[in-house]
Amino acid sequence: MLFRCHLKRALPQKVSCKFCAVMGKLQSKLKYSTYKYSRPDGFRDERIQTKAFQEYSPAHVDTVSVVAALNSDLCVSGGKDKTVVAYNWRTGNVVKRLKGHEREITKIACIHKSGQFFSASRDKMVMMWDLQGSSQPRQQFSGHSMVVTGLAVSPDTSQLCTGSRDNTLLLWDVGTGQCAERASVSRNLVTHLCWVPREPYILQTSEDKTIRLWDSRGLQVAHVFPAKQHIQTHCEVSEDGHKCISCSSGFGGEGCEATLWDLRQTRNRICEYKGHFQTVASCVFLPRALALTPVIATSSHDCKVKIWNQDSGACLFTLSLDGSGPLTSLAVADTVSLLCASFSRGIRLLRVDHSRGLELQEVAGF
């Protein structure tokens, strides 16, 4: 049998061209991806990006449901393999693999700049872990009757708020593991929770298409934002606590948007970000150092991560993670890096590049 080398010479199968052999090895270490770039003047073009790509040992053996940053080097993730994994995304090493849940991990909440974090699961349990401790959970929180779908730690780390598809929110004392408050709202199937920095308020999204602001002092609803047209899947609060973003389910471009809200006096809708074609599963505020104007990022079931101008709603950049399946979670790793969890290809490390404007590159996977 014959094959053709780069010079189009027909050679026997066992005889190889040295140049082609070297190039083959080089290409195996490179990844080619297509992305769309939007310039400030509105012009869009499509580029082929060639770059070195590092494939680390995988953190999980199945779908990754959630990823969160623990500190500037470590992330914590969970998924269908029922395992919580602390991973050094800079070196590509598993730091600790923790087992205790009986079903899929749904949420992770970290106490930043510490070794402590919480995991929620379809087994209705929440567990607290400590990297400096044993492989057993430091604390367990049991009180929901259905899958736990919301998890938020108070700014002083003394309280934990959990939410579930059982329509309830529970407020826990982290030190004792005891439930201090319970609140229930009919048809309030919780999808996500986050605590407002330096405030006693908790933001919550729901399958009833609303966003609620809870006062942790008594666990009462302080405000309900105008209902959207689709399920609200996720929410995030800005570092200054002045704004929040939520994102919507959808299909074929219907719904599939993120929305910026004012958390201060007016509590009005400020801006919408439309361009995804399937459910937007996650949204984050990006560090101010990344761009001259504030920017946010979204990840979607359409396999795309988008960067948006926070003020104008313009899409600045789109990265397609082909073959990843639905993108399930997005987290800010450091000032230039994002972590994106996926259904089929684990966790992808993305990096912002300023060499040709604001671009996002896929640099590693694990």
What is the pTM for the complete model shown?
0.86
Q: What percent of the chain has pLDDT over 70?
A: 86
Residue identified by tokens 């009919």 is 186
| Structure confidence at residue 52 as a pLDDT band (50, 70, 90) | confident
Q: Is the dihedral of CA 104, 205, 302, 331 positive or negative?
A: negative
Confidence (pLDDT) at 358: 86
Check residue 292 and give its pLDDT.
79
Domains recognised in the chain with CATH numbers: 67-227 (2.130.10.10), 232-365 (2.130.10.10)
pLDDT tens sequence across 136-146: 999 999 999 99
Locus of tokens 């309030």: 188
Q: pLDDT tens digit string along 220-267?
A: 999 999 999 999 999 999 999 999 999 999 999 999 999 999 998 778
Separation between Cα atoms, residue 262 and residue 252, nearest integer Å: 28
Cβ neighbours of residue 73 closer than 8 Å, sequence gap 6 or more: 88, 89, 90
> What does the pLDDT read at residue 267?
83
**Each residue of 158-209: pLDDT tens digit?**
999 999 999 999 999 999 999 999 999 999 999 999 999 999 999 999 999 9
* Run of H or E residues at 28: helix 18-28
